[in-house]
Amino acid sequence: MKTSTIALIAGASIFAAASAFASPDKDKGHMDADKMVESHFAEVDADGDGSVTEAEYLDYKMAKAKEKFAKLAGDDGVLTLEEAKAAHAAKMEKHKAKMKEHKGKMKDHGDHEMKGHDKE
């Protein structure tokens, strides 16, 4: 498969993922799916012409990759295995904290019980 085809498929997945994780609940301050996709699309559409070219997509991904590498590698511009492991561990801790917070919010709102399965 050509690299350009893979890049385009990956690009499409960005917009699909944005839709999948967006909440339709506008009243609670969450961005709706359309707004999320539009926002991300505008970020990738460098020239603002309403379409994303392969070059724009690849430029966007390369810039993001460079930002991430710089964050991971630190001041010396080299990423060590230890730095990669530390970054992964920090990311997992952040994810666990976010999930714990989310679970607490669900419990506070009573969303943890399914209809018809409430304890009597």
Percent of the chain with pLDDT over 70: 65
- pLDDT, tens only, 55-103: 999 999 999 999 999 999 988 999 999 999 999 999 999 999 999 999 8
79 and 71 Cβ atoms separated by less than 8 Å: no
Confidence of residue 42 (pLDDT cuts 50, 70, 90): very high
Report pLDDT for 13: 58
Compute the average pLDDT of residues 32-54.
96
The helix (H) or strand (E) run that includes residue 40 is helix 33-44
How far is it, in rounded angstroms, from Cα 37 to Cα 22? 9
* More confident position, 37 or 109: 37
Report pLDDT for 105: 85
| Cα–Cα separations (whole angstroms), residue 83 to 27, 62, 70, 76, 89 | 41, 21, 12, 12, 10
11 and 4 Cβ atoms separated by less than 8 Å: no
Enter the pTM of the model.
0.54
